[in-house]
Structure 1
Amino acid sequence: MERFTRDHFPETPFLFFTGKGGVGKTSVASSLSITMASEGKKVLLISTDPASNLQDIFGQTLHNTPTKVNGTNNLYALNLDPEQAASNYKEQMVGPYRGKLPDVVLQNMEEQLSGACTVEIAAFNEFATLLTNTAIIDQFDIIVFDTAPTGHTLRLLQLPSAWSTFLDENTTGTSCLGPLKGLEPQREIYKEAVERLTNASQTTLMLVTRPETNPLKEAARASHELYEIGMKNQMVLINGLLQGESHDEIEQAFIQRQTKSLENIPKELIPFNKYYLPFVPYSLSSIERMQAWMTDSEVKHEKIIEEGTTIPEIEEMIADYIQRKPKLIFTMGKGGVGKTTVASYIALRLAEEGIRVHLTTTDPAAHLKWTFGEEAVENVTVSRIDPKEEVAYYEAEVLAKASETMNEEGLAFVKEDLASPCTEEIAVFRAFANVVEEHQDEVIIIDTAPTGHTLLLLDATEAYHREISRSQGDIPVSVSNLLPRLRDASYTSVAIVTLPEATPVVEAIRLEEDLQRAGLSVDWWVVNQTFTSINTTSPTLVQKQQAETKWLKEVESISNNQFVTIPWVKTPPVGTFGLHQLKGVNINEN
């Protein structure tokens, strides 16, 4: 696999970057834009990522109109705020009904329009306008979009039935998006935008990932979804490949794990050109550093010495759980941060203290053998909720009810809307609720928990159904029982799992805000895969330790010191021996 260089840059006028949080989309998009601008091309870099740090990178305030980047001749940047766009769209939809409909109905409408899908649609509304605005396009040689729309969003916008108003009267399913009639004036613009996205001579889709199993799987999923709706001109950028020359044992183990992940690259990514960008231990926080990264130039590092940085270990959290005895423990966080590992460790340690535990997960890989090897662990039972099965069951229930009142056009929209992320969250939550109901005599640990939006959506829908009194029974009793328990701090404990890096921490902060909106408080933060407490002689990893300090301090502040760390381990934490490796400081010495 070749290193990504200027020779590999796409020639299309539009570039869309996609990839899961923390893989480096913004860094790659910015570096590429800076390089092209330095060669005389006039470049516009557009971000629709709420967690984007473009303003920090360029050291200046950005707006929703093109702003010239200081220190460059040809680079302009534009920061769209999808949250604000979604808020405007929500008010556009709900505003006309204020004072005309009961509060409980308005609450239901607002929560239906508070999810990730509405943010996606609103963001797409913003950049579709840019994508088709010739007054802007004609000013630039290349337009780079940091964060592409998902396949779900594009399929939804291509459905004629998505623009009908039938959902105004729909109470048969918990829709993530709601009616799109508020965007009717934009319909032709969307059509033109989608045509431009699927034109291989116009647009290249840049799939950014890391040489790790979960990000590669996520890239494969996004690739397949977008390929299916016509975005076939794709390129894969594998960010953060370490090719060290140190004989340090930790560095060698790090490289070996990356190599193994790449040897098992998902089949969906095989047909496309793949290039790598090197692992750098420093933060890509300036134009100079990004230029150095793209050209392999040397970067001077200032040694960061932080006095008083504490490295609390995960056993502090376990001791708290043993003392407080919560009945329900959630591990929450974005994909790839280690929720399953943390949930498994908590289950193992509580079981070793004589507490009966039930661990349940939606991770396809997290079955009993994966988590605990071949060992039977006393006091631990494990179940796995299959999201596909739960979604199929939920979809069948919703469609059966919808078919009683809707025509084929209406059903087509419901089917597509059920493909949204919110559908899976709701279906899985219902399954979780059943598990909680069945294991009342055990401590229940739930890996991959629902977001605050899901909880509020279920709450609002339940209230709406009670008010309307015509959909009795849609909300299972187990869900009704569980919702108030989640807000009981003595019953439920939430642990947010993150990594000591910019995007995972920013996304974790947004997750905590989402949970607070739903009335859930976070007890603990867990910073996974830290190098700070590891003895290593690798120059690269020593610099990585220094770079982590900022984010450990950030989590320490946000959590009011209610955080613990887990060190990076040489081998995957599988089985009781592997999980015990997560316990303490300097566990990689031997």
Structure 2
Amino acid sequence: MTKPFQPTAETVTPFLFFTGKGGVGKTSTACATAVSLAEEGKRVLIVSTDPASNLQDVFNQEIRYETTKITDVPGLDAINLDPEEAAAAYREKIVGPFRTKLPDVVVNQMEEQLSGACTVEIAAFDEFASILTNKERTSVYDHIIFDTAPTGHTLRLLQLPHAWSDFLEDSTHGASCLGPLSGLAEKKELYTNAVTALANSNQTTLILVSRPDESALNEASRAAIELKEVGLTNQWLLINGVLSQHDENDTISTTLYERQQQALNLKPEHLESIETFILPYVPYELTGLKALKAFLKNDAYVQEDKHTELTIQLPSLNAIIEKVGSKEKGVLLTMGKGGVGKTTIAATLAIGLAEQGHSVHLTTTDPAAHLSYVLTGANVRENLTISSIDPKREVEAYTEEVLAKAGETLDEGGLAYLKEDLSSPCTEEIAVFRAFASIVERASDSFVVIDTAPTGHTLLLLDAAQSYHKEIERSTGEVPESVTKLLPRLRSKEETDVIIVTLPEATPVHEASRLQADLVRANIEPSWWVVNQCFSATTTTDPILSQRALSEQKWIEQVAEKNIPTAVIPWQPNLLTGDGLKVLTK
């Protein structure tokens, strides 16, 4: 049974951790909760460890690492930790001592190994662990709210005894995805106390934020199970953005409502046992105190938006198909966070190129049955082939290969640590990318469309391993020849087109911008941006969705200002399959 989310000082614990996939509304719900508790007269601190944090945008004031008082909210303070800055300091702590002792190429590779998402997360954990366990600091506040909680993977690594041993320093396999934690042995007590506080149900509540859609609910279920395994058992599920009413005469509004209800009725079984709350779908951006106060109370609020119409005209996917199709062959990579529509867009591009007469191979990490369903009814199958890569199977094979090599030198405890280390997102990306590389190598004189491509960090890590693995071994092992050949191809704009997919919302745009910066580090320049699921490109007359369309426009314009060709796709009322995908090119 679900109920409205209206937190009070009597119903919540001293520590609240908001977690969930990008774009579900972690920051806005955390900020609204902080304001609500402060209005009860409580002393509240909100701390963001989210790389895409927009605390300053929500509160309309500058917020940095120093404790900042929120204007017009007595009792509310905020800290905006910079995970990237913390990660840079973490890297220097690990790498610094070796700068004068090892060749530059080796030092550069060490830095790249410590440039992934896992390193950013452990650096952020170091920062909020310092806050969480500082009794002088915590005693000042009745509630401390953290925007973005650590993953179960990070917590499991911190709980393993070998995280604090010296085996990493002695091992020829080098650092883990978090770096040699033995270098931080002096923080063992700090981290242990932090993990203990997280697991204390009287002190801490983990709030799993989701949207009423299948992918977000599946991610919430996965996180709930993973975090419960490491002791975070006091969990709430907060489903944000539920459309409570709709205009029956508006196709867009009716379809969105029905999709949400279906997702809620079919949510993962594990979530049924978690206390669940809902927040309404609101048409306005959650910035400013008036909006935050109205949000949890479900009061009427109309955002004053300067936009009345989109000031620029942007093309559809057809522009990409025509541009890329002028070549004879090439690689297309669709990239972006989960839930932005990469698979649908990749399939549409593949069909469009095949209709031009090109030989096209489409591959994805989604199950083959799903991709087959998306392409059902397409009349171009004779020159369009598809394949699917099972990430689980690829990771298992890759992990087995690495552990087999490591077993020659590591003891049982060391192998346990390495096995956990290999469960990181970095490992999955490398394992899947190797499989992608094999497929691309098989294709010649054709187009290869890859749904879900590796990040710039993974490419740089593979490149470093390829060039320097004889000088310093890394647990990624030998790099296959297919990867060796593919990396230069991906860096060639003549051979490869990278397409970044996003939604017209703050977090997806911020995350896509970081993805672009990540690729540029790897000498890969995106060819296109695609802004997907835009209400502002539809004919909806629903009052809520029409106002939402206005709030989208500044994000569309922000993407367009990057001076990279940009296409816009309307929010689609129909589930698109086969030739129905062609509507996206209009």
Task: Quickly name the TM-score band, shorter chain normalised.
Answer: over 0.9
What SS is found at the alignment partner of 1:144?
strand
* Contact 1:44-1:75 at 8 Å conserved across structures: yes
User: How is 1:271-282 mapped onto 2 (pairs within 5 angstroms)?
Assistant: 271-282=273-284
Q: Work out whether 1:290 is the aligned partner of 2:292.
A: yes
Q: Could you say if the C-alpha distance between residues 441 and 165 of structure 1 is closer, same or farther in structure 2, counting changes exceeding 3 Å?
A: farther
Instruction: Give percent identity, aligned residues only.
Output: 53
Q: 1:258 maps to what in 2? A: 260
Q: Secondary structure at the match of 1:532?
A: helix
Q: Structure 2: where are the runs of 5+ without partners?
A: none
Aligned to 1:350: 353
In structure 1, what residue type is equivalent to 2:569? I
In the alignment, the residues of structure 1 paired with residue 328 and residue 204 of structure 2 have an alpha-carbon distance, to the nearest angstrom, of: 54
Match in the other structure for 2:41: 40
- Given residue 506 of structure 1, which amino acid in structure 2 is its aligned partner? H
Q: For residues 291 and 513 of structure 1, do their structure 2 counterparts lie closer, same or farther at Cα, with a shift above 3 Å needed?
A: same
1:566 alignment partner, one of 556, 565, 569: 569
* 1:390 and 2:391 are equivalent in the alignment: no
Contact 1:173 1:402 in 2 (8 A): no
Structure 1 letter corresponding to 2:376: G
The corresponding residue for 2:323 is: 320
CA deviations on 1:104-146 (whole Å, 9 max, x unpaired) are 2112211111111111111000101110000111000000000
Cα distance in 2 for partners of 1:250, 1:468 equals 56
Tell me the equivalent position of 1:588: none
Matched, 1:237 2:238: yes
> Which residue of structure 2 aligns with residue 450 of structure 1?
454
Whether contact under 8 Å (2:24, 2:240) holds in the other structure is yes
**1:486 maps to which of 484, 490, 493:** 490
CA distance in 2, matches of 1:91, 1:174: 14
Q: Give the superposition deviation at 1:305.
A: 2.0
1:68-79 superposed matches below 5 A: 68-79=69-80
Q: Is the 8 A contact 1:359 1:382 kept in 2?
A: yes
Decide which moves more: 378-387 or 174-183. 174-183
Change (3 A) 1:289 1:458: same
Provide the rounded CA distance (Å) in 2 between the counterparts of 1:384 and 1:292.
Answer: 45
Aligned to 1:108: 109
Residue 205 (structure 2) aligns with: 204
Change in CA separation of 1:209 and 1:471 when aligned onto 2, cut-off 3 Å: closer
Aligned counterpart, 2:251: 249
- Structure-2 residue corresponding to 1:441: 445
Following the alignment from structure 1 to structure 2, what is the Cα–Cα distance between the partners of residues 174 and 133? 29
Separation of aligned partners in 1, 2:405 and 2:79: 44
**Cα deviation, residue 456, structure 1:** 0.5
Aligned Cα root-mean-square deviation (Å): 1.9
Q: Distance in 1 between matches of 2:405 and 2:483?
A: 19
Distance 2:521 2:328 in 1: 25
**Structure 1, residues 156-190: CA drift from partner, whole Å, max 9, x if none?**
00001012232235454884222112321111011
Change (3 A) 1:53 1:101: same
Which amino acid in structure 1 is aligned with residue 372 of structure 2?
K
> Deviation at 1:326?
5.0
Aligned to 2:303, what secondary structure does the other structure show?
A: coil
Report the residue type matching 1:500 in the other structure. P
Q: CA deviation at 1:378?
A: 2.7
User: After the TM superposition, which residues 326-475 of structure 1 pair with which residues of structure 2 at under 5 Å, given as runs?
Assistant: 326-364=329-367, 367-373=370-376, 377-467=381-471, 474-475=478-479
Relative distance call for 1:202 and 1:410 in structure 2 (3 A) is same
Shift in alpha-carbon separation, 1:374–1:164, aligned structure 2, 3 A: farther
1:357–1:379 contact (8 Å) kept in structure 2: yes
CA distances 1:430-475 after superposition (whole Å, capped 9, x unpaired): 1011001111232100001110000011111122214469999811
Aligned to 2:169: 168
Structure 1 residues 108 and 564, CA, compared in 2 at 3 Å: closer, same or farther? same
Aligned positions of 1:117-156 closer than 5 A: 117-156=118-157
Aligned-partner Cα distance in 1 for 2:92–2:564: 38
Letter matched to residue 210 of structure 2 = T
1:495 to 495, 499, 504: 499
**Are the equivalent residues in 2 in contact too, given 1:326–1:492 (CA < 8 A)?**
no
Deviates more, 1:316-325 or 1:515-524: 316-325
Deviations 1:536-569 (A, max 9, x none): 21111111111111011001001x1510011111
Aligned length: 582
* Offset, 1:245: 4.1
What's 1:308 paired with? 311
Superposed displacement of residue 61, structure 1: 1.7
State the Cα distance separating 1:250 from its structure 2 match.
Answer: 1.4
Aligned counterpart, 2:189 = 188
1:531 and 2:535 correspond: yes
TM-score (norm 1): 0.95
Which 5+ residue runs of structure 1 have no aligned equivalent?
A: 585-590
Equivalent residues of 1:526, 1:564 under 8 A apart:
yes
Kept in 2, the 8 Å contact 1:367–1:384? The answer is no
Contact 1:465 1:471 in 2 (8 A): no
Distance, in Å, in 1 between the alignment partners of 2:317 and 2:294 is 37
**TM-score of the pair, normalised by structure 2:** 0.96
Aligned CA distance change for structure 1 residues 326 and 133 (closer, same or farther; 3 Å): farther
Structure 1 residues 343-385: Cα deviation after superposition (integer angstroms, max 9, x where no partner): 0000011011111100000023664422212656231111001
Q: Secondary structure at the match of 1:411?
A: helix
Q: Which amino acid aligns with 1:380?
A: L
- Cα displacement string for residues 448-507 of structure 1 (whole angstroms, at most 9, x for unaligned residues): 111000001111112221446999981111111111111111111100000000000000
Distance 1:386 1:174 in 2: 27
